Amino acid sequence: MKRIALLTSGGDAPGMNACIRAVVRTGIHLDMEVSGILNGYNGMIHGDFVPLKSDSVSNIIQRGGTILRTARSMEFFDREGREKAFKNLQKNKIDGLVVIGGNGTFTGARIFIEEFGTPMVGIPGTIDNDLFGTDYTIGYDTAVNTVMEAVDKIRDTADSHSRLFFVEVMGRDAGFIALRSGIAAGAEDILVPETHTSIDELIQILEHGFRKNKKSGIIIVAEGDDAGGALEVAAKVKEKYQFYDTRVTILGHIQRGGSPTANDRILAGTLGYAAVNALAEGETGVMIGVINKNITYTPFEKAIKHHKNIRSDLLKMARILSS
């Protein structure tokens, strides 16, 4: 394997640049030529390949986002688009691909391998931490810290005005950001898509806090919670329980940005290094992950289809510690 290429696809995540750096420098160490593909699978279809040298990735380890940029490619859904992508790989004499992204990225990679046989390995880069086959994904730790810091600031004003804040965090299908950030910030309750939300039970928790002389509160709501987002949940609570002056904060895309934490930088470097070595050893169709501090290879199909479970014991712990 003499020439490899890499791309970032789907939603950006802090630590992607650190991973790009690791892939490029590991490839060069193994005497490979490394190319970057701009704008994800769209760039592969339209031939946006750029050579990457060691100095191309200098001073990016601390930067959020991705220097290769990212996009969701509708053209890649069609075989015609994938065939154009394959011809561009041939034109650039690419022997193998490293793709950094999430569920959609690996779904596309799995189909591409089946149709054209190009060796590909994946690296989990998503703030949602919802991929099976790894304890943590690149960007998750930074996102949790971003939420925690924001909630710490919100709690100051909540205490000052005796207010109840509903803080919405990302997590359309998974509540991992909500769970960890809620524990770290001492939230009164955490609402996630994986569990049923009872408004009556939530009100009981708030009343319990009131009886213990709590003057304010924070409720973390994952955007995909079954009772609705923060706006809808807040309205339902206010309709039945009007003791608190209620406010809603939707944190949105600030969770995707910012300089990656030390944990995300180390994870990104570890996975990038392992991915290039996996390609060199003949691996394909696998996502590189870390489980119990050990490097693992999980087939794309398994990483995509298997559900990663949230820890219900942590939800129980969070309620006990905040009561």
Question: Which of 12, 48, 55, 128 does the annotation list as catalytic?
Answer: 128
- Look up 313 and say whether it is catalytic: no
E-only strand ranges, 72-152: 96-101, 120-124
d(CA 242, CA 239): 7
d(CA 54, CA 44): 22
CB neighbour class for 269 (10 Å; exposed up to 12, middle 13-18, buried from 19): buried
**Which residues are CB-neighbours of 260 under 8 A, at least 6 positions away?**
14, 15, 17, 18, 62, 64, 138, 139, 141, 142, 268
**Which residues are CB-neighbours of 4 under 8 A, at least 6 positions away?**
23, 27, 32, 33, 34, 35, 94, 95, 96, 97, 98, 276, 279
Q: Tokens 């005005």, residue?
A: 161
Element spanning 75, H or E: none
Q: Which amino acid is at 309?
A: N
**Both structure tokens of 226:** 């079954």
**Both structure tokens of 318:** 């969070």
Q: CA angle at residue 99 from 148 to 59, to 5 degrees?
A: 60
d(CA 164, CA 169): 16
User: Residue 102: which of 136, 76, 128 has the closest Cα?
Assistant: 128
- Per-residue CA distances from 262 to 58, 83, 135, 140, 145 (Å): 17, 39, 16, 12, 11
**87 close to 81: Cβ distance less than 8 angstroms:** no
Q: Which residues are catalytic?
A: 128
